[in-house]
Amino acid sequence: MPRPVVVLAEDDGDLREVMQMMLEQAGYRVVSCPNAFTALRAFFTEPRVDVLVLDWVLPDLDGRELVRLLHSQRELTELPIVLTTGVDMEMPSFEGAVCLLRKPFAQTDLLRLLHALTHQTGTPPPQASCHVA
């Protein structure tokens, strides 16, 4: 069985590196992206993407714009998206995200969510704690 593919869009280089190592150790293939345009390009160069982990605030586009662009592609309308942010905000209902993880978040929360999204039914388990404040 091929490893699940995660596109990781995070502009903080240190955090991106730590998250990439953690996800790769957990068995994911990670396409690491420092900005929204690199992430967008990944969806057209990768043969398959299973989930997007998206920092809500990126230097070139915000999360809302990237999600809008991705969802304008018919084959990506059902793409699971996990938003991450340090911004004090509520979970946006119209962005198509399955969860909002507040930075700093526990690695186990992200891994539990990704496992549910890539190995089972495609929906996060109730025990996956999404930090919405």
E strand or H helix that includes residue 41: helix 36-45
The stretch 100-105 carries a mean pLDDT of: 90
pLDDT in tens, 8-24: 999 999 999 999 999 99
**Burial (0-12, 13-18, 19+ Cβ within 10 Å), 117:** buried
- Evaluate whether residue 111 is within a structural domain: yes
- Evaluate whether residue 128 is within a structural domain: no
- Evaluate whether residue 108 is within a structural domain: yes
- Evaluate whether residue 132 is within a structural domain: no
Residue 127 pLDDT greater than 90, yes or no = no
Question: Could you tell me the residue range of the domain that residue 19 belongs to?
Answer: 5-119
- pLDDT-derived band at 95 (thresholds 50, 70, 90) equals low
pTM above 0.75, yes or no: yes
- Evaluate whether residue 133 is within a structural domain: no
How far is the C-alpha of 79 from the C-alpha of 127, rounded, in Å?
21
- Evaluate whether residue 125 is within a structural domain: no
Which domain CATH number covers 52? 3.40.50.2300
pLDDT in tens, 27-83: 999 999 999 999 999 999 999 999 999 999 999 998 888 988 998 888 888 899 999
Our count of domains for the chain comes to: 1
